Amino acid sequence: MPPGWIIGPFVIKSSLVILIASFIIGVIFFRLVSPFSYSETKKRLDDVGNLLIVFVISVWIGKILVNFSTFINDPIAILAYPSGSQAFYIAIIFSAIYLKYKAIVDIQHLVHLLFSWMIIFITSSFVYEFIQVIWGSNVMTSGYYSGLLFFLLVSIILLQGILSTETLTLLALIVWSLGQLLLSVFFTTTVFQFYLDRGFYLSVFLISITVIIYIKYGKQRR
């Protein structure tokens, strides 16, 4: 497959097409395995869509902030700049603020949102990385990462109904972040072609561990 297609003044990268297709497959898969009712599944998909919109807009804001001087001098030129890891981290912060607002409104709603997002994220990541393996692009890293994602996906499906939604979501985050952390020791790891620092995975791991301990012992004290 070519690296991209030129349509008039626009250049559509093949990686973007694969990314969109991967998320579509992730959404379809979630509809098939969702533990929620049909109407609630639809609501969860709407919530995930809103979160995704917040994240994408935040990535663009992050890209502008990182390349602010360029944006001031030539705003159009910012379109040609790739979204790097710094823009990703900024988007994560904005998305976390959005999720914090959701938690204030309804904590259970937030848990279901994160669970739904986790299934879609893992599925779309698996599809994306599997295609990279088929193409022979970064086979070693994508192969190991695909294995991690496949394990997580199967585990989530099998453990639905056995573990609570919040516990399953946090455990998935713990395993994912720990797996990526270990892979980052030997390889350069990515999340949808965002090259992320080892500290990011460590932060996700520690936060997830802290939250699950708080949930377990906090409820016991109550």
User: In this structure, are residues 145 and 95 in contact, taking their beta carbons and an 8 Å threshold?
Assistant: no
The radius of gyration of the chain's CA atoms, rounded to the nearest angstrom, is 18
* pLDDT on residue 108: 76
Q: Domain residues for 192?
A: 4-221
The strand pair at 10-13 and 190-191 is best described as unpaired
- Could you give the number of structural domains in the chain? 1
Half-sphere exposure of 169 (CA within 13 A, CB side): 18
* pLDDT on residue 31: 92
Mean pLDDT by 10 residues, the chain (222 residues): 52 72 93 89 90 89 81 70 81 87 70 89 91 71 84 91 86 92 87 86 88 65 50
Tell me the three-class secondary structure of the chain, residue by residue: CCCEEEECCEEEEHHHHHHHHHHHHHHHHHHHHCCCCHHHHHHHHHHHHHHHHHHHHHHHHHHHHHCHHHHHHCHHHHHHCCCCHHHHHHHHHHHHHHHHHHHHHCHHHHHHHHHHHHHHHHHHHHHHHHHHHHHCCCHHHHHHHHHHHHHHHHHHHHHECCECHHHHHHHHHHHHHHHHHHHHHHCCCEECCEECCHHHHHHHHHHHHHHHHHHHHHHHHC
Distance CA 120, CA 32 (A): 11
* pLDDT on residue 2: 52
User: In this structure, are residues 156 and 126 in contact, taking their beta carbons and an 8 Å threshold?
Assistant: no
Distance CA 194, CA 91 (A): 12
Structure tokens at 103: 């938690």
What's phi and psi for 124, nearest 5 deg?
-65, -35
User: In this structure, are residues 117 and 34 in contact, taking their beta carbons and an 8 Å threshold?
Assistant: no
* pLDDT on residue 195: 87
User: In this structure, are residues 95 and 51 in contact, taking their beta carbons and an 8 Å threshold?
Assistant: yes
